[in-house]
C-alpha cells in the first residue's frame, strides 16, 4: 500500500508493523528508573500496551486513567504481573471534565511530586458522514476529546512537568497520539481527521512555549492498529475507495481495512524509545511508530536543518 508522499509514510526505508529489538524494553536498554508516567486512555488498546511497556522499562510509577474503571483495573493487574515494584495510580476520569482532571493533577502532585512523561492517548471517532449529514453531538465529542481533553491535560500537568525538568535537570516528555490520516482529507473524516490535524499543531505550540523549560513534545502516529476506534469498517472502506478512485492511495478499498495490521506493541515501544533519551531534535514534530528508529536517528541533521516533520503550507 502506498500513501501520498506528503504523508511521510516512507520517511525511512525500513518500516515496521510490530515491536522490534531497538524499541523493546525486554531486549534493549530502555530502562527509565525514577520516572513517573501518565497515560490517558490506558484501559485498553494502545494505552494499555504502552503502560505495560513502561512497566518493563522499570519506571517508578505509572498513572492510569480512562473513563471505564474496570478496564483500568485490568491494566493495573497486568502491570503488577510484569513489575510488582512499580507504583500505580488509577483514575476513572473523563479528560474533558476540567474538575476531574485538576483533581487528578492535585493527587499526583501530592503523592508523587513529579511527572516525567505525559501521554495524551485517549481517542474516539464519530460515524463518518458528510458534514451536512453527520450527528452534531458525535462530531463535537470527537473534537472535545482530542482537543479540549488534551488542552485540559496540558494545562493541569505542564506546571508539574516543568517543575520536574528543573528539579531533575532533565528533559520531560509529552506525547500526543495523532494519525497519518490527519495528513489527508477523506469524505466523512472532518471530525476525526480534522481534530488530529489540529492536535499536531497543538504539539507545536507546546514546543514553542515550553521547550526552553525542558519540555519535549512529539505527535506520534501509532501505525495502522485495529483498536476499538477502528472497529467500524464501513467508513474505512469508503475512505479507501475514495483514495483509490482519486489516485491518492495505491490499493483497493478492502486493502485499506486489511492494512490495519500494525500491533499496539509497536506504538508502545516507540513511545518508550522516544522518552528514553533527550530527543529534543524531535520537539514539536510528527513521528510515525512504523519508522525505523535507527534510520530516523541517521536523519537527525536533515530533520533539524530542514525543519522537517511539521505542518507547513506549500506555496
The torsion angles phi and psi of 66, rounded to 5 degrees, stand at -165, 170
Catalytic residue among 3, 54, 151, 196: 196
Select from 73, 127, 122 the least CA-distant residue to 94: 122
Q: How confident is the model at residue 239 (pLDDT cuts 50, 70, 90)?
A: low
Cell numbers placing 257: 481495512
Q: How many CB atoms lie within 10 A of CB 49?
A: 27
As a whole number, mean pLDDT of residues 44-53 equals 97
Known catalytic membership, residue 192? yes
pTM assigned to the model: 0.91
Does the domain made of 13-226+264-299 have the CATH classification 3.30.70.940?
no
Q: What is the pLDDT of residue 228?
A: 55
Least confident piece of the model among 64-68, 126-130, 283-287: 126-130
**Span 132-172, pLDDT tens digits:** 999 999 999 999 999 999 999 999 999 999 999 999 999 99
Select from 48, 77, 82, 86 the least CA-distant residue to 65: 48
Cβ 291 vs Cβ 11: under 8 Å = yes
**Span 61-109, pLDDT tens digits:** 999 999 999 999 999 999 999 999 999 999 999 999 999 999 999 999 9
Known catalytic membership, residue 196? yes
Please give the sequence-ordered ranges of beta strands (E in DSSP) within the chain, or none if there are none: 36-40, 61-66, 87-92, 117-120, 172-177, 215-221, 286-288
**Span 181-202, pLDDT tens digits:** 999 998 999 999 999 999 999 9
CA distance 222 to 63: 20
Least confident piece of the model among 19-33, 226-240, 267-281: 226-240
Catalytic residue among 192, 210, 276, 286: 192
For strand 117-120 and strand 36-40, is the pairing parallel, antiparallel, or unpaired? parallel
Amino acid at each position: 500500500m502506498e500513501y501520498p508522499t506528503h504523508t511521510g509514510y516512507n520517511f525511512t526505508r525500513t518500516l515496521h508493523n510490530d515491536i522490534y529489538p531497538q524499541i523493546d524494553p525486554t531486549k534493549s536498554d530502555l530502562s527509565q528508573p525514577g520516572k513517573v508516567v501518565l497515560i490517558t486512555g490506558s484501559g485498553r488498546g494502545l494505552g494499555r500496551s504502552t503502560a505495560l511497556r513502561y512497566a518493563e522499562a522499570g519506571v517508578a510509577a505509572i498513572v492510569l486513567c480512562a473513563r471505564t474503571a474496570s478496564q483500568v483495573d485490568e491494566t493495573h493487574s497486568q502491570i503488577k504481573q510484569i513489575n510488582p515494584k512499580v507504583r500505580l495510580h488509577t483514575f476513572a476520569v473523563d479528560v474533558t471534565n476540567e474538575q476531574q482532571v485538576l483533581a487528578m493533577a492535585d493527587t499526583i502532585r501530592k503523592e508523587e511530586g513529579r511527572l516525567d512523561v505525559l501521554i495524551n492517548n485517549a481517542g474516539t471517532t464519530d460515524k463518518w458522514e458528510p458534514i451536512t449529514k453527520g450527528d452534531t453531538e458525535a462530531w463535537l465529542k470527537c473534537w472535545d476529546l482530542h482537543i479540549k481533553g488534551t488542552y485540559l491535560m496540558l494545562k493541569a500537568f505542564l506546571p508539574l512537568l516543568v517543575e520536574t525538568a528543573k528539579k531533575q535537570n532533565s528533559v520531560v516528555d509529552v506525547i500526543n497520539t495523532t494519525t497519518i490520516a490527519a495528513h489527508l482529507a477523506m469524505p466523512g473524516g472532518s471530525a476525526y481527521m480534522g481534530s488530529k490535524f489540529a492536535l499536531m499543531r497543538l504539539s507545536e505550540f507546546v514546543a514553542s512555549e515550553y521547550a526552553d523549560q525542558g519540555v519535549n513534545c512529539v505527535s506520534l502516529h501509532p501505525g495502522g492498529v485495529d483498536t476499538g476506534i477502528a472497529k467500524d469498517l464501513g467508513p474505512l472502506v469508503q475512505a479507501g475507495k475514495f483514495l483509490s478512485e482519486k489516485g491518492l492511495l495505491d490499493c483497493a478499498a478492502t486493502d485499506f481495512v486489511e492494512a490495519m495490521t500494525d500491533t499496539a506493541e509497536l506504538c508502545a515501544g516507540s513511545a518508550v524509545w522516544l522518552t528514553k533519551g533527550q530527543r529534543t531534535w524531535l520537539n514539536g514534530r510528527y513521528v510515525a511508530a512504523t519508522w525505523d528508529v535507527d534510520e530516523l536517528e541517521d536523519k537527525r541533521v536533515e530533520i533539524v536543518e530542514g525543519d522537517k516533520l511539521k505542518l507547513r503550507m506549500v506555496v
